[in-house]
Amino acid sequence: MNAAIWAMQAFTGLSTFCVLLLMALGLAIIFGQMGVINMAHGEFMTVGAYTTYLLSEVSQRWLPGLTNWYFFLSIAVSFLLAGAFGLLVEHLMIRKLYRRPLDTLLATWGLSLIMQQGFRSVFGAREVSAKLPDWLMGSVKPSAAIDIPINGLVVIGLTAALTALVFFALFSTRFGIDVRATMQNRPMASAAGINTARVDRLTFGLGCGLAGVAGAAFTTIGSTGPTSGSAYIVDTFLVVVFGGAQSLFGTIASAFSIAQTQATTEFFMTGSMAKVVTLSAIILILMVRPQGLFALKVRR
Amino acid sequence: MHSPLSTKTLSAGLAVVLAATGALLGCSKDSSKGVGETQAATTASAAGGLAVSEKEVVVGQLHSATGTMAISETGSIEAERLAIDQINQAGGLLGKQIKIIQQDGASDWPTFAEKAKLLLEEDHVACVFGCWTSASRKAVLPVFEKDNGLLYYPTFYEGLEQSKNVFYTGQEATQQILAGLDWIHKEKNANTFFLIGSDYIWPRTSNKIARKHIENVLKGSVVGEEYYPLGYTEFGSLINKIKAVKPDVVYAIVVGGSNVSFYKQLKAAGVTAQNQTLLTISVTEDELLGIGGENMVGYYAAMKYFQSLDNDNNKKFVAAFKAKYGPNSVIGDVTQAAYLGPWLYKAAVEKAQSFDVDKVVAASPGIELTTAPEGYVKIHPNHHLWSKLRVGQAQLDGQYKVVYESELIEPNPFPKGYQ
């Protein structure tokens, strides 16, 4: 085994880590912070993916000057669209179910089915492909034998930026204090004058918006179809639960360890077996630490 | 005093009820027999109890219009409808118009079995065009065999099956695999192969056949064989392995959404047709639409039909398909095979001069279709089709350019030495 392969394999692990983290960020907020089991999280990703596809079609047909850069625009638009849709869903449905987590599970699962069939009716059952600018699909060659995919670099950069933003929003702004206060002790937060209903709505919207961004980013590595979001949902919950539902650090640590285990075992055995090994390891660890890797100490 | 009396009354009442129930049961048994007899009577009069009237014959269509498989099955639904429309316009079947009852299998195998039962036992359809995945076909097979129904199945599949009640209009594995491997071995001087597949029966069986052929006939070697779960999207490690091993040919049987990830990531990692030969049997024009021509350009696919086939039958078929479903629609191998179903059924019914399933099945072997878009096909006594194999090279515009065409290949669903 030569050094070039090792370098590329290390990069593969890193980029898998970023994909997992990007998927899980939104859910870490919705499930981890708010305790809402959102089974439709994958479909909010799909909203972002279809937004990217639509913008790519628009830019190709009417704004050829934008073709090279529309991708960055689509990230912003995906965030806004998925976030706005999230606000709407919160207002119409989730709001009424906050004290009934199992009902939320059923309701959001139903929502996910409705959204999937909605995508199918609007965009057709066939998978579509956002036409990505050429520079995004190339690779960097630091040496003759090493290819570092640029789309991987973009996903890594995006993940880093988003994670930093989420941390900043939650730990350094007034909004973040409100969110954490509401989640830790709702009656007390309310008594202290925080509008908890508004905080709930914005938090859910933020989580959905992040899912939209993840969906936009995934058009560079995967497919866009009515059900492509649901392919991610299991992994997403896995990352959040394994990390310890309420800890953002936990989510990062969990995404990192799952990704590295997956990428490394995959190199030495086949993909299906690698998945078996990774899942077995997670089950074993969760048996010893049912609260996940990191647990927040909260007085209940 | 009261209680023993009431017990007596109760037991007496119970006896009456029991007797009445017994009588009722007996009665209903008799009446059910009566119904059965009447049914048998109608059966004898109207072509095997099938829904055939003076003016029309009813057939069933059983695909997934919803759920994850709708991606693939939509093309088959469209092609079968087109063929039936064309047959109706040309005067129908034995002078009767064909009416379609469509059921949705919803990508769920038990639902397929349930709907098949409905079509055969409630609607008494003369035949069914349907199924796509092997799992759905295996689910409906017992229903068709029990009720003596007739199924036309369009997908290329792993073989190892043959039923009196099913006609397979796609290729079985040896037809699709062997000639393609021979071609790439000769043309590209390829001796080392890396086999990749999605983790379920069709890719695994196909790769098993490919491996035997590579090792025993071509005297080459398999330098890797890997399977990934359906819907998998992270192929980075696999691509690094391919780069480390440097096989002459990557032989890929990845299906569904995973395809898109696989080819996009290959390209992003600097693997293109310029530095790696790749042969697939799972990417039709349908999938290519999702993958994007730019991510696949230069790679090869082996199947029996490509939309770009240059013959008059195909030109007419493509034009008719686009006229009905829009200029942007694409036609893959399975879509064309689905289009053959109604035409093969028509030929068999006309040869048998009957809709009776046994007579149609008996008349089928030897039937030739010279109007097929793929060219000439013929039904083999084993219910599969004689057909050619083509190798196409993917183009930027999402079409394939045909670079090789074999002779007519005999279907062999139970290949000796390949199992």
CB < 8 Å from B in window 235-274 of A: 262-263, 266-267, 270-272, 274
Closest partner CB to B257 (pick from A127, A151, A262): A127
ipTM beyond 0.90?
A: no
Quote the pLDDT of residue A297. Answer: 63
Q: What confidence score (pLDDT) does residue B155 get? A: 95
Alpha helix positions (H), chain A = 3-27, 41-61, 70-92, 101-123, 134-137, 150-172, 174-184, 186-191, 196-218, 230-243, 248-268, 271-288
pTM for this model (two decimals)? 0.82
With CB atoms and an 8 Å threshold, state whether B234 touches A128.
no
Q: Give the residue-averaged pLDDT of A61-77.
A: 85
Residues 6+ apart with CB under 8 A from B57: B50, B51, B92, B93, B94, B96, B97, B98, B99, B126, B355
Q: What is the pLDDT of residues B362-390, one digit of tens each?
A: 999 999 999 999 999 999 999 999 999 99
Give the model's confidence band at B411: pLDDT under 50 very low, under 70 low, under 90 confident, else very high: very high
More confident residue, A66 or A41: A41
Distance CA A61, CA A73 (A): 16
Q: Which of B232, B233, B237 sits opposite A9 (nearest CB)?
A: B237
> In angstroms, what separates the C-alpha of A147 from chain B's closest C-alpha?
6
Q: Do A221 and B264 touch (CB under 8 A)?
A: yes
Mean pLDDT value across residues B328-345:
95
Site from B64, B71, B240, B289 to mutate, A interface, most A CB atoms within 10 angstroms: B240
Which strands make up the sheet holding B249-253, listed edge to edge? Answer: B221-228, B192-198, B249-253, B277-280, B300-303, B390-394, B400-405
Q: Which residues of B touch A221 (CB under 8 A)?
A: 233-234, 261, 264-265, 268
Of B240, B291, B295, which is closest to A12 when you measure between CB atoms?
B240
Nearest Cβ partner for A5 among B234, B244, B294: B244
Residue B8 pLDDT grade (very low, low, confident, very high; cuts 50, 70, 90): very low
pLDDT for B291: 86
Chain A hits for B264, CB-CB cut-off 8 Å, are: 137, 151, 220-222
Q: What is the pLDDT of residues A209-244, one digit of tens each?
A: 999 999 999 888 877 888 888 878 888 999 998 988
**Which CATH fold topology does B174-303+392-405 show?**
Rossmann fold (3.40.50)
Q: Is B265's Cβ below 8 Å from some Cβ in A?
A: yes
Which of A2, A19, A226 lies nearest to residue B234, judging by beta carbons? Answer: A19
The tens digit of pLDDT for each residue in A166-204 reads 999 989 999 999 988 988 888 899 999 999 899 999 999
Contact assignment for A126 to B74 by CB distance below 8 Å: yes
The answer on pLDDT for A69 being more than 90 is no
Q: Using pLDDT thresholds of 50, 70 and 90, give the confidence band for residue B350.
A: very high
Mean confidence (pLDDT) of chain B: 87
Helix, strand or coil, per DSSP, at residue A297: coil
Chain A interface, best mutation among B260, B266, B286, by max A CB count within 10 A: B260
- Which residues of B are less than 8 Å from A262 in CB distance? 234
Alpha-carbon gap, residue B138 to A212, rounded angstroms: 39
Give chain A's radius of gyration (CA, Å).
20
Distance CA A203, CA A209 (A): 10
What CATH architecture does domain B56-170+310-387 belong to? 3-Layer(aba) Sandwich (3.40)
> Is A60 within 8 Å of chain B by CB?
no
B312-322 average pLDDT score: 97
Report domain extents, chain A: 13-229
**Of A125-129, A137-141, A238-242, highest mean pLDDT:** A238-242
Could you give the 3-state DSSP secondary structure of residue B1?
coil
pLDDT of residue B35 exceeding 90, the answer is no
Query: Cβ–Cβ of B269/A222 closer than 8 Å?
Result: no
The pLDDT of residue A218 is: 87
d(Cα B115, Cα B102) in Å, to the nearest integer? Answer: 10
- Give pLDDT tens digits for B95-111: 999 999 999 998 889 99
Distance from CA of A194 to the nearest CA of B (A): 42
For B:52-81, CB contacts with A below 8 A are 65-68, 70-71, 74
Chain B contacts of A7, Cβ < 8 Å?
none
State residue A229's pLDDT score: 85
* Minimal Cβ distance to A117: which of B66, B225, B295: B66
> Residue B268 is nearest to which of A19, A137, A141, comparing CB atoms?
A137
pLDDT band at B40 (very low <50, low <70, confident <90, very high): very low
Query: Residue B240 and residue A267: Cβ atoms within 8 Å?
Result: yes
CB of B291 less than 8 A from some CB of A: yes
Residue A299: left (phi > 0), alpha (psi -120 to 50), or beta?
A: beta
- Using the predicted structure, report yes or no on whether residue B23 has a pLDDT greater than 60: no
Closest Cα in chain B, distance from residue A199 (Å): 35
For chain B, how many residues are written? 419
In angstroms, the CA A53 to CA A57 distance is: 6
B47-84 pLDDT, tens per residue? 568 889 989 999 999 999 877 777 778 899 999 999 99
Give whichever of A69-73, A167-171, B24-28, B118-122 has the largest mean pLDDT: B118-122
pLDDT at B9: 43
Within B290-416, strands assigned E span: 300-303, 368-372, 375-379, 385-386, 390-394, 400-405
Q: How far is CA A160 from CA A17, A77, B44, in A?
A: 11, 19, 74
At residue B258, the pLDDT reads 85
Greater confidence (B291 vs B167) lies with B167
Per-residue pLDDT, A221: 81
- In one-letter notation, the amino acid at residue B401 is K
Q: In this complex, do A222 and B238 lie within 8 Å of one another by their Cβ atoms?
A: no
Greatest CA separation found in chain B? Answer: 103
pLDDT score, position B43: 38
Residue whose structure tokens are 């950069």: A157
Q: Which of A2, A127, A141 sits opposite B290 (nearest CB)?
A: A127
Residues of chain B found within 8 Å of residue A120, distances taken between Cβ atoms: 66, 70
